[in-house]
Chain A
């Protein structure tokens, strides 16, 4: 299970989130990820608004207010070409928590993370974008987004689906019908960054009942492994 091994690899990274605030936090529940440690420190109420400091081992990754962090955890969804001003802020947030394995992402959070990747691909405007859909219906729901991505850009888009789907009206998109169980169990997406390798990103999530365990990454080695897993 090549896609599973990507989640396993990411899970070995240790992310620490130090919470500073005057009241209790439910971040521990929200970050019920296997590789995240939450430390809470209580500040007197006349101090700053609550914030978190995120680190990978001893390395400081970033500080962000709890309000902004919650935006990431309960995102609003905009299509890629409408993210504009919000995009940079989103990107900074996403990069703070890349390679963090979430054990309880819902569809909305995954959709938002997917939008971040689609937005990058749209902005870079060329390169290779591979996306897996767990069902015909899941692809249908995103058909308009992908039609727009394909018509506005020369992106090389590859869609992986488990069954035959109506594709005649989608020039610029290559459909791969992959009747393997792995494709059906995963929500995945990978973008190679086109001519800008720093824009590489990928998302892999495994469905578990109504929620997903998954990770997004900007690590070129992991992105490459997603492509390899999908193309094999």
Chain B
């Protein structure tokens, strides 16, 4: 299947993954471990939605996201998020080949990944909303 004929075959292709693109194909165990926490699902969704971000911006967004259910998020909570990003989540997502992190400039970009992986990230995010709205 080529990119050009995707729209025409959409209905059929929705049910099957196309991993023929040149991007790295993450190991499923690694991918699902990356998606195993709310914070990483939000991080991945955000880096997917934005071409490039920084650790500071990501910490802001995660603090803001938290505030949508938890009320005001203050500087100390935001600092905890930033530290957790640095020490846990960013290294894990880099090791999973899902993001590219320039530690000097503190910039984060989404790694090249096949469309099905992007779909899984977006669906994982939506599933959080579904659970939250029904719970």
A interface residue numbers (CB < 8 A to B) = 18, 20, 43-44, 46-53, 59-65, 67-68, 89, 92-93, 96
Contact = CB atoms under 8 A, between A and B. Distances in A.
14 contacts: A47-B45, A47-B125, A48-B42, A48-B65, A59-B75, A62-B72, A62-B74, A63-B72, A64-B71, A65-B67, A65-B68, A68-B67, A92-B71, A92-B72
Given A52-B64, A63-B60, A68 B72 contact: yes
Nearest to B75: A60
Main SS at interface, chain B? helix
Contacts, number: 69
Interface string B35-53: 0000000100110010000
Contacts of A96: 72
B74 A46 contact: no
Interface residues of B, number: 22
B126 to A, nearest CB: 6
Most buried by A among B46, B74, B122, B125: B74
B49 A63 contact: no
Contacts of B126: 46
A68 B71 contact: yes
A64 B106 CA distance: 25
